[in-house]
Amino acid sequence: MPTQSEGQVLRTVALSKIVVREGFNPRSDAEQAEISRLAKSIAEHGLIHPLVVCPDGDGFRLIDGERRYRACGEAAVTEVPVIVRHADQETEALDVALVSNMERIDLTPVDEAKAFGRLLERGLTRKGIAERCGVSQRLVSERLALLTLDEGLYPKVADGTIPPGAIRPLVELSKIHPGLPARAVAEIAAVQTGEYSQEPYSWADLAREPLQVAIADPEQLPADVYATGVSYPLERFTLTEKAGKDLAKWAQLEGREAGELNVRFGGEDLAAAEKLGAAHRGNDGWSAVIVGQDVADQLVCDQVKALLKRARELAKRQRENSSQAAGEPAGGSEAAAVDEEALKQERRREREQAQEARRKAAAYNAQLGGQCLVHLSRLKLDAGVVRVLSAFDIGSELDKIAMRGARYGLPGWVAQQERKNATPKPVYLDRAEAEAKAREFLAAAKTAPELAGRQVALLAMARYADEGAIAQSSRSFYTLSPGRQLPWSIEALEDLDAIASERLPAHVLERGRKEREQEAARRRQGRETTAWYEGELALLEGMSAQQRQAVLTEATERLEDYDPRHWRLRQRIEQLDAATEGSDDPTQVEDGGETA
């Protein structure tokens, strides 16, 4: 006999009378292996836990128990026990299936999110979903937020690779651009598996600075997302017809090729994009992106317009200066004021000089790279080499070190591209390519001398290579410098210079020698000043007030403006002078005598 309790009826029905609606089950992992295991158990012991169904025409629709239902079919069971429930027209029993699965802890956060989303589509509010399913409204909102993420991230959320605490910052990123959450997850996964060598980002970093993590590698951003302060080739943008004409005029005035122009978005561009709702800043105050290709295109058109305006103003000033130098008043004769041909010739000469300087720099870098590979890539581990390797943070700055030097000249690092006039044009690696090449270069080392030598070779290239080989906008602007944690860090550059001087031909190091000598002199002077300062500071207490003032005067000459040591020295002298005045005050008489 069927039994009835609280609107539920327990009965036995034919399995063929039950239908499964496609996509109804909140679960998304009906694995065949689990179904086969259940089928064997049902064939031997029968179906112990009834299916939950609701009336549907002449038969029934399955609400809960899809794996058991499929296992019964595999076990050739013809009749099964069921609990018949009447479905709510509003939710069509989806809430029942959801609660049943949640009670068995069968659902992943993604399964719950999809089920809540379907209930939302059926007209329930977030509060209504929470009440129907017996969960908090906050949980419902958090799960629904998952649906804003790219579906490619769902498996990582389901298996726990993406922790619950990362969901909120990922959702924040998805509001900026749908592709940013995946970029942030990829950045964290890459550093954790050792793909990159910089300080790894963590899920805690994502919670604190989501945008900073997402744009850590600007070259991997979605095509319509642009990080501020990063150089982009002009070919990535579509110019209006007027902007294209302005660009051609600018190139003519500057004596350059339009294709050489690189674009950077700065503070003014960011402010303009914010007015359009297309700019987003990070919590750290400096991470920022501009989203939208149409906005970026317009900003570039504005930049081209501004470039042309400045170029025309400069050309006008040059003409006026030429007129004045010739004894003519500003805006004099028409022939002098509009000497466009002379201006073009001057621009052409400047361009030819710049090209020649680049050619010489490229030739020097190629020679330097060959010599570094031959003479530095295998070194004996002496004290100088150990000091150099320990002073520079090669691991976290490998990309910067490779960009500053090795990419300009190590053999095999520079490609050659043929220009329209059939002359070769060197093509240099970008940041990601340079870092990957450096990792490959270091990985090829098999012995301790090779490990040490290849690192020193990279450092030497970063120290001596000439960045004049490329346009200023494409340079690294990185200066090789040691950390300050070790006692010998301050001498590490001198150690590197000594190693290079011993092993590389003198003519290879000639370029920049004067600047390095001046730099070394400044470091020596700095060490001497530090020694003098510390010595005088230790002797101040035994000096007279006059002697201390003499020390302060000398400190003013030795120390640079705003050096904090000058302030500390002055403060210490004032303290000692005040203590001396208090102990030797001549107006005080001992033993209760009268005041003089």
Angle between helices 109-121 and 94-103 (to 10 degrees): 160
Task: Give residues with Cβ within 8 angstroms of 133, minimum separation 6.
Answer: 95, 98, 99, 102, 116, 140
Per DSSP, 52 falls in state E
Q: Is the pLDDT of residue 336 over 60?
A: no
The pLDDT value recorded for residue 296 is 94
Q: What is the mean pLDDT of residues 40-61?
A: 81
Q: What 3-state class would DSSP assign to 374?
A: helix
Rg (CA), the chain: 37
Separation of alpha carbons 145 and 110, rounded Å: 10
Task: Give residues with Cβ within 8 angstroms of 500, minimum separation 6.
Answer: 376, 460, 463, 464, 509
Q: Which long-range contacts (CB under 8 A, 24 or more apart) does 526-529 make?
A: 527/490, 529/558, 529/559
Phi-psi category of residue 279: left, alpha or beta, with phi > 0 → left and psi -120 to 50 → alpha: beta
Q: pTM to 2 decimals?
A: 0.44
Partners of residue 8 on adjacent β-strands: 5, 85
Separation of alpha carbons 332 and 320, rounded Å: 8
Decide: residue 133, CB within 10 A, 0-12 exposed, 13-18 middle, 19+ buried: buried
Partners of residue 22 on adjacent β-strands: none
Task: Give residues with Cβ within 8 angstroms of 210, minimum separation 6.
Answer: 169, 170, 172, 173, 184, 282, 283
Q: Which of 26-30, 415-419, 436-440 has the lowest mean pLDDT?
A: 26-30
- Looking at every residue in the chain, the average pLDDT score rounds to 79
Q: Is the pLDDT of residue 419 over 70?
A: no
Decide: residue 406, CB within 10 A, 0-12 exposed, 13-18 middle, 19+ buried: buried
The pLDDT value recorded for residue 31 is 66
Q: What is the mean pLDDT of residues 59-71?
A: 83
pLDDT in tens, 17-34: 888 876 555 555 556 777
Of residues 44, 66, 435, 510, which has the active-site annotation? 66
Partners of residue 507 on adjacent β-strands: none
Q: What is the mean pLDDT of residues 51-71?
A: 83
Residues of the chain with pLDDT > 90, as a percent, come to: 14
* Closest listed residue to residue 50, CA positions, set 98, 18, 28: 18
Contact between 20 and 52 (Cβ < 8 Å): no
**Residue 517 annotated among the catalytic residues of the structure:** no
Cα–Cα distances (Å) from 388 to 437, 455, 574, in that order, read: 22, 10, 42
Buried b (16+ CB within 10 A) or exposed e, 367-388: ebbebbbebbbbbeeeebbebb
Contact between 566 and 559 (Cβ < 8 Å): yes
pLDDT in tens, 185-212: 888 887 544 443 345 678 888 888 899 8
